[in-house]
Amino acid sequence: MAPTNPNTGTRVKVLLAIDASPTSLDVLDIGQDLLGEDDQIIVLNVATNDPPALSPIGLLVQDPHEPTGDPDRTITDRRENAQLTADTAAELLDADTALVLEGNPGQRIVDAAVEYNVDLIIVGTGEKGAIARFFQGSVSRFVLDNAPCSVLIAR
């Protein structure tokens, strides 16, 4: 049975925050299991424009999955891949909206939750290790601490 908004008794408006990580499959599974056909589903993928990160010891870390060369092309590739991922997930869930936003993932998820007045955010935990979480922070933790609504974290 799909959840209802406790304030209105109506079906919920849900934001599913995804990316290309394996935990996004968990987010989609939860969405399929939890949500009904009357619920409003918004799929969001945030494309980051961040340059390659510095490791804790100051070495430049190039993501092995990132193409090298023209940085403008890399940003375009990231956005196109993010849109493809969002569109595919939205089609799978028969979602009402597929969004791709750019910027800080945690902040953009919270911003979208406010803008769309959602009742629930479903987000994955990601796969960062303890050191990466320390230096880069945790998207799911940021969303949990700053969201204007309930947050369900998939792991």
Q: Average of pLDDT values for 3-22? A: 78
Residue with tokens 């925050």: 17
Closest CA to 16 of 136, 38, 39: 39
Q: What is the pLDDT, as a whole number, of residue 138?
A: 86
With 90 as the cut, is the pLDDT of residue 94 above it?
yes
Amino acid identity, residue 126? G
> What pLDDT, on a 0 to 100 scale, did the predictor assign at position 126?
67
> Tens of pLDDT along 24-42?
889 999 999 999 888 999 9
**Average pLDDT, integer, range 118-146:** 78
3-state helix, strand, coil in the chain (%, to 5): 40, 20, 40
SS (H, E, C) 92-122: HHCCCEEEEEECCHHHHHHHHHHHCCCCEEE
Fold of 13-46+80-154: Rossmann fold (3.40.50)
pLDDT at 17 over 60: yes
- Alpha-carbon distance 19 to 154, whole Å? 13
Residue 105 has pLDDT above 70, yes or no: yes
CB distance 75 to 81 below 8 Å = no
Least confident window among 2-6, 66-70, 127-131: 66-70
Type of residue at 72: D
Residue that wins the pLDDT comparison between 44 and 52:
44
Q: Which residue has the higher pLDDT, 29 or 132?
A: 29
First to last CA, the chain: 22
Q: Which tens digits make up the pLDDT trace of 58-92?
A: 343 344 445 455 556 677 788 888 899 999 999 99
Q: Which range, 5-9, 63-67, 89-93, 125-129, is most confident?
A: 89-93
pLDDT of residue 77: 81
Per-residue pLDDT at 61? 38
